[in-house]
Chain A
Amino acid sequence: MSNTKTKTRQSAVGQLASAASSEVIIDLIEVNKWYGEFHVLKNINLVVHEGERIVICGPSGSGKSTLIRCINNLEEHQDGSIVVDGITLDKNLKNIDHIRTEVGMVFQSFNLFPHLTILENLTLGPIWVRKLTKIEAEKRAMEYLERVKIPEQADKFPAQLSGGQQQRVAIARSLCMNPKIMLFDEPTSALDPEMIKEVLDVMIELANTGMTMIVVTHEMGFAKTIADRVIFMDEGVIVEENEPNAFFGNPQHARTKLFLSQIL
């Protein structure tokens, strides 16, 4: 297994040498996490470069959501180090708040604020955290609503929107903070089939702008289209990591082969 890992790491690096910018933006070194006695993340090593698009897949309970939630400290890791945008995540609340402004996140359950209109959902962060004026924030919010193709919903409340629309609003809300990194935690898992596409389209468009993205998803078609690297996790470890063609065409590890045969 360690053999596979070294190989994929080399291939990823080799591929990135050709990319315009190759600065390391997320660096996880020997990260471990436990829920009580349960060892969820075991010795995770992961390097993400600026502009890279990474898809993480794996069976449920494999620790993929926990992994990306550690990156913006929604979950605390207990061992190892996580460096995001040059800042090491530790107990320092200021660092955590700073990293969270640079890292956007989209959840399976949207987590929009039900007591605020769509526009207010989008302008809250820019006004209170980025200290924009209300006019600037609203202008920016409308730009992103245009980009996710629902500017006409600006004055509605989240409960009045369909699931797909809510998720697009959630993406726009994160983008309004002008983050350097976007994390997606199963963004389409709670959606009806006909709504998945509208969300994926927005994500593909976002990928094309060069955003650094880490996406936990079961949408393998999406992974093939946009991922620079696909990571397969099981039981808290990274089992296999490769660029998508090789990952889907020629999986190495027996566990990966089994997983792919079950979902494709």
Chain B
Amino acid sequence: MEYVRTKDTPTRKPPLNESSLLGWLKINLFDTLFSSVLTILVLIAIFFAVKSLWIWGISDGVWIAETRRECFKINIDGACWAGVIAWLDNIFYGRYPREELWRINLGGLLLILWMLPLWLPRVRGKIFVGLSVVALYPFLAGYLFSGGEKGIFMQVMITAAIVGLAVNVANAVTGYFNRGSLSSFILRKIGKSDAPEKQQRNILLAILLIAFVAVFVWQMGWVVENVTWTKWGGLFLTFVIAGIGIASALPGGIILALGRRSKLPVVSVLSTAFIELFRSVPLITVLFMATTMFPLFVPEGFVLNKLVQVIIAVCLFNACYIAEIVRAGLQAIPKGQYEGAHTIGLGYWGAMGLIIMPQALKHMIPNIVGSFIGLLKDTTLVSIIGLFDILNILRAISKDTPWIGLHKEPLVFGAILFFIICFAMSKYSRHLEAKLATGHKN
């Protein structure tokens, strides 16, 4: 029995399969008679649902009107979007003074500007971008939003934030246009790129100091009017609470997770107790506790406003959830990774920060973002303790005299708004996952 191949077998096109549209339809939707019938039934159901929504919202919808009564006159079967449109400013900014709205817009713009380098290719030092935005931006934004007299501490932090922002943006520009990092660019421009390292560092520090002093002097010159937190509201307030919650829940959660896994019994027990306490209580209870109980724990005469109390509660609550997610991520990292890190001389923090945590967080992106989406939606609970977040504003429309009884449209609008934001977060998380994927572990 002898066999030697003499001819090549040509490669052929595959039979009807998922790679063509027709094949996909055949395999997934019209495979058997039963699934064909189901497909058609579902399509019919979708058609009627979409059709009635379309008629109510779009074709019969009223966009321009002065009052709800006018809406009815124009088309009684359609949605009265005019009410939502009339309230748009309130929905986005709450009762923030209209002539001061630029401050919120500027704050948002600066945040985007600050974070932009994270998405640009070729820009170095993205960790610095992330850290600086978490550590410095809140001071700048906090002052922009609330205004009033600046204390010396605020002045220093505002200056640091402005300098930090400027450095970030300049660094992003030089990086994006292939001129290297900002520091190497400056050194090249003044002809010091071959100078010893110590001299280079001194030059850069001097430039930074000059910039700091200049900005400090400049910022002393301007003051913005005080807007108390009771005037904050709408989507803006939701973003403030959720933004601070998200920015602090991740570091807080990492610390709590490491604490819970610590070999030191006191640290471990305290972290565990803290996590379990907050996780076993509903957020709404935590919020009530924060506003009624928290004042009992702080020294007399030390008054925290309700907003700060709420923000602290949201941060602690979410840090505990993130802590458990991070802990799960840490447990999924094989022991060999710790050993590999230790054998190249890394200690506990080096191994954690460079090897273990990056991998753990990467695996946990879907869960962490899921938790953040939950956080954003949970912020609507603050409406129960009387803050005018977006949900409260949407419900207030129905109590406004011209739009009295307008319930459905504002809530539908709110739902669409939340869907857009949360869907964007979810999409971004998928994008991050794909970008950071480096293959499975060995």
Contact = CB atoms under 8 A, between A and B. Distances in A.
Contacts of B336: 107, 109, 111
B441 interface: yes
Interface in A47-72: 72
Interface string B354-381: 1100110010000000000000000000
Contacts, number: 82
A173 B350 CA distance: 16
Interface string B323-354: 00000000000001101111111110010001
B355 to A, nearest CB: 6
B282 interface: no
Contact of A114 (B345, B347, B440): B440
B282 to A, nearest CB: 37
B344 A114 contact: no
B438 interface: yes
B10 interface: no
Q: Interface extent on B, as a size class?
A: 20 to 34
A115 B358 contact: yes
B66 to A, nearest CB: 59
Q: Which of A101, A110, A114, A115 has the most CB of B within 10 A?
A: A115
A166 B340 contact: no
A223 interface: no
Contact of B350 (A112, A113, A128, A130): A128
Nearest to A105: B343
B299 interface: no
Contacts of B438: 114-116, 157, 159
B264 to A, nearest CB: 13
Q: Interface extent on A, as a size class?
A: 20 to 34
Interface in A107-151: 107, 109-116, 124-125, 128-130
A103 interface: yes
Nearest to B440: A159
A97 interface: yes
A74 B342 contact: yes
B358 A177 contact: no
A111 B439 contact: no
Given A128-B350, A157-B439, A97 B345 contact: yes
Nearest to A110: B442
A10 B354 CA distance: 46
A72 B439 contact: no
Nearest to A107: B336
A129 B340 contact: no
Given A124-B354, A128-B354, A114 B441 contact: yes
A159 B344 contact: no
A150 B358 CA distance: 26
B442 A125 contact: no
A66 to B, nearest CB: 13
A145 to B, nearest CB: 16
Nearest to A113: B355
Q: Which of A111, A125, A174 has the most CB of B within 10 A?
A: A111
Contacts of B339: 74, 105, 107, 111
Contacts of B354: 124, 128
Contacts of B347: 93, 97
16 contacts: A72-B342, A101-B345, A103-B343, A113-B337, A113-B340, A116-B438, A124-B354, A125-B346, A128-B346, A128-B350, A128-B354, A129-B346, A129-B350, A158-B442, A159-B441, A174-B344
Closest 9 CB pairs of A and B: A159-B439, A125-B344, A111-B340, A101-B345, A129-B345, A111-B336, A105-B343, A157-B438, A100-B345
Interface of B: 336-337, 339-347, 350, 354-355, 358-359, 362, 436, 438-442
